[in-house]
């Protein structure tokens, strides 16, 4: 593997991991918000 | 979202872009490795940030064990998870850097192996928290976190204690080691930017943890109301 390619790959993979985690948090947050709405609806 | 939060996120984004620019274009090209050495500006700050997060996890676990404080437990969960993300970056960027420089992706030397063990400890911590259903889950997780943290200073010291494939310490490694002064600003900018990103992720994960606990409690109360009718 060439150095230039490795450099680009390392920076890209870092951001895939970080953005993947942010996406995971957002999806979990949406799920919890929906559950909270359901709980409020059923509690009324 | 509060104005302060928005401002902090905007500052973090600016810092991340500026730090990447520093690492890719401003930092000098290393003489023997060439441009691939610029991975250093993501690899090392990610490791330092992961260590800080695991230290925060250790402290909050101690606080939880002493005072049984639910907020401390939520901080522990958040810091461990974000720490694992940064540790994953270290474990992925390391082999990508190693392949063109050492000619191998991986070797079972002390630094690499203890870092992998560190990652496995905190992944097992997260698995315990996710899948254990008993009432003692938080206590067990806190105990695991305290013992698990012992590996952090071991990882740090391995390249001082042993001759390893991994390079000897460049920073704080004695009179014959040292980083070129012009490499310090890109390194510190990247560390600052990653630390700011870590703060945002920990706060978001902490809030999520508290919301999930709230939902769980409401489910339990609803079930209780149903059973008493």
pLDDT digits (tens, 9 = 90+) for B71-86: 999 999 999 999 999 9
Contact, B186 vs B22, CB < 8 A? yes
- Please list, residue by residue across A14-25, b when 16 or more beta carbons sit within 10 angstroms of its beta carbon and e when fewer do: beebbeebeeeb
Q: In sequence order, which residues have a C-beta less than 8 Å from that of residue B29 and are 6 or more positions away? A: B35, B37
By CA distance, what is B98's nearest residue in A?
Answer: A6
By CA distance, what is B201's nearest residue in A?
Answer: A22
**A18 in contact with B, Cβ within 8 Å:** yes
Closest CA to B66 of B126, B142, B2, B10: B142
Does residue B188 have a pLDDT over 70? yes
Given an 8 Å threshold on Cβ–Cβ distance, is B42 in contact with A10? yes
Q: How confident is the model at residue B229 (pLDDT cuts 50, 70, 90)?
A: low
Structure tokens given for B222: 């609803």
What's the CA gap between A32 and A27, in Å, rounded? 9
pLDDT digits (tens, 9 = 90+) for B54-73: 999 999 999 999 999 999 99
pLDDT digits (tens, 9 = 90+) for B109-145: 999 999 999 999 999 999 999 999 888 999 999 999 9
What one-character-per-residue DSSP string does B34-95 give? Answer: BGGGGGHHHHHHHHHHHHHHHHHHHHHHHHHHHH--HHHHHHHHHHHHHHHHHHHHHHHHHH
What's the CA gap between B81 and B60, in Å, rounded? 14
Contact, B67 vs A39, CB < 8 A? no
Given an 8 Å threshold on Cβ–Cβ distance, is B93 in contact with A14? yes
Q: How far is B97 from chain A (nearest CA, A)?
A: 7
Alpha helices in chain A (DSSP H): 3-43
By CA distance, what is A12's nearest residue in B?
Answer: B93
DSSP E strand stretches across B73-196:
none
**Inter-CA distances, B115 with A26, B60, B87, B176, B213, Å:** 28, 22, 8, 25, 32
Structure tokens given for B28: 């000098």
């Amino acid at each position: 593997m060439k150095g230039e390619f490795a450099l680009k790959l390392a920076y890209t993979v870092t951001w895939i991991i970080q953005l993947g985690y942010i996406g995971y948090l957002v999806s979990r947050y949406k799920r919890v918000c929906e559950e909270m709405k359901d709980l409020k609806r059923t509690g009324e | 979202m509060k104005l302060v939060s928005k401002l902090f996120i905007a500052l973090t984004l600016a810092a991340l872009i500026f730090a990447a620019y520093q690492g890719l274009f401003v930092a000098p090209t290393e003489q023997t490795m060439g441009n691939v050495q610029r991975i250093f500006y993501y690899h090392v700050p990610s490791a330092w940030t992961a260590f800080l997060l695991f230290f925060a996890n250790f402290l909050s676990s101690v606080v939880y064990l002493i005072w049984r404080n639910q907020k401390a437990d939520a901080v522990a969960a958040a810091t461990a998870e974000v720490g694992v993300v940064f540790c994953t970056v270290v474990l992925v960027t390391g082999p990508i850097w190693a392949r063109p420089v050492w000619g191998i992706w991986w070797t079972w030397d002390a630094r690499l192996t203890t870092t992998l063990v560190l990652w496995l400890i905190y992944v097992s911590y997260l698995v315990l928290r996710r899948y254990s259903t008993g009432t003692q889950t938080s206590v067990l997780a806190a105990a695991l976190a305290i013992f698990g943290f012992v590996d952090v200073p071991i990882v740090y010291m391995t390249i001082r204690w042993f001759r390893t494939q991994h390079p000897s310490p460049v920073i704080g490694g004695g009179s014959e080691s040292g980083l070129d002064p012009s490499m310090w600003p890109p390194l510190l900018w990247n560390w600052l930017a990653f630390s700011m990103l870590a703060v945002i992720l920990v706060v978001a994960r902490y809030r999520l943890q508290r919301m999930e606990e709230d939902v769980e409690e409401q489910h339990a109360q609803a079930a209780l109301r149903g059973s008493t009718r």
